Structure 1
């Protein structure tokens, strides 16, 4: 029976208030999630404004990833204490999602900055630049591994970055020891790395010591890499330097922005020392 002091809404009217289509409310009624508060003798269904809060909470829980079955389970045992517990649980979920979104936002900012910087680089130029101390998160040692072991190491490294939330948006690079580079083994990396501008405690890191680096760019596949290194070595010798402990390589342009591998651009950074020392 209607309470004349309460305003009731038809399914269409209530759907308009909730900004959903009627079929959503009909489905919620069918599964017992949100049923009209009144069903008259003529088969008409009516909702009250008090049910809007319940609809809002259902949509909130759906947005946070809770299944309709999970919401049904809560409604079967609903009480003030149960709702308080549920809201506290969802508050923790929101806090975690906020943290994840902040990490994603940081990654996006890094990628935007990198692409904006790359747009102003002359990839034919070779320069000597002073690099500050940098912190890297490293893969396990991969020097002299087989092709299969290398693939597994890459997969494991990416898993570690994801699991430990250490993906900063910087490119995954490869660092090669001086001995391998001088022997012409330019891609026999000792480790993969990712820069960590804000390192968190509890993780093993590698510190790249501040110093001068010879910086150049390789355009193309690894088959033509020796030609680029030959150019770099020539400039290094002409400037009176010798190769330092490590060489670092990381993509500037890869499959994200270039379709052909021949158009990929790799940044190469050679640690250098004064040859007279």
Structure 2
């Protein structure tokens, strides 16, 4: 019943307070989600300031992905107990989403750092660099895999990265055993890998490198990869090194930034040891 001592708001006024258009409030009224306190003889809707809190909760739940139908179901059985349970449930959802966003933010930072570093690299230069021990998450063994087995292994690897939240934003690389590289089977990878700067318990990891690497860059498709390896082996021999246990390849520039495969850039890291050792 109308109380002249209480300030009521028209649909337009209440919409302004809620920062929505009038049609939103009219729709909420039509579906029984948020009805005005009363309607006068002319059908004009009037709202009270007390209803703003309800509107805020509805918008909050919508933001969290709750459908209007589910919100209606809650309102049909609303009570202090059900509201508390609902808020606790939504709190868990927010915490999970926050963790997901933190992972995404970390991945974006890795991408930014990687591309900023790549912008200052001379891809024609071959260097010897000291690498610390690095943790990789590996795919299943794909050495000598058939095309079908390779496709399955890649799909399973990517699926596991996603399911276990192991996608760190670093490029997916391929590691090749010494024996295959010496036999010129440069792309007969033993495993795919992704770097894990903060490895979590409960997953099998591989500790890689921890030593000197001969680092070079291949521009182009895999068909011309042998030419880059020939250059690397020549430098290795001149510097008095021999090939170590593994070689690692990962894209620096791929389809993300280059339209043509001939422009792709692959980083090649070859574990090396002194011949005298």
TM-score by length of 2: 0.99
Q: Deviations over 1:32-74 (max 9, x none)?
A: 1111111112111111111110010000001111111110110
Find out whether 1:252 has 2:252 as its counterpart. yes
Distance 1:180 1:46 in 2: 79
More displaced, 4-13 or 162-171? Answer: 4-13
Q: Deviations over 1:222-251 (max 9, x none)?
A: 010000000000000000000000000000
Distance 1:16 1:149 in 2: 60
Distance 2:229 2:135 in 1: 25
Distance 2:143 2:133 in 1: 24
Q: Unaligned 5+ residue runs, structure 2?
A: none
Find out whether 1:44 has 2:44 as its counterpart. yes
Distance 2:124 2:30 in 1: 67
Two-structure CA RMSD over aligned residues (Å)? 0.7
SS at match of 1:123: coil
In the comparison of the two structures, how many residue pairs are matched? Answer: 277
State the match for 2:9 in structure 1: 9
Q: CA deviation at 1:209?
A: 3.8
State the match for 1:204 in structure 2: 204
How do 1:30-179 and structure 2 match up within 5 A? 30-179=30-179
State the match for 1:222 in structure 2: 222
Q: CA deviation at 1:12?
A: 1.1
Distance 2:94 2:31 in 1: 27
SS at match of 1:133: strand
Q: Unaligned 5+ residue runs, structure 1?
A: none
Q: CA deviation at 1:112?
A: 0.4
Distance 2:213 2:119 in 1: 21
Distance 2:79 2:188 in 1: 63
Q: CA deviation at 1:22?
A: 1.1
Contact kept in structure 1, 2:11 and 2:45, CA below 8 Å: yes
Distance 1:201 1:6 in 2: 60
State the match for 1:261 in structure 2: 261
Distance 1:37 1:260 in 2: 64
SS at match of 2:252: strand
Q: Deviations over 1:110-150 (max 9, x none)?
A: 00000000010000000000000000000000111111221
State the match for 2:21 in structure 1: 21
Contact kept in structure 1, 2:28 and 2:34, CA below 8 Å: yes
Distance 2:7 2:274 in 1: 86
Structure 1 residue runs of 4+, over 3 Å off?
none
Distance 2:71 2:154 in 1: 40
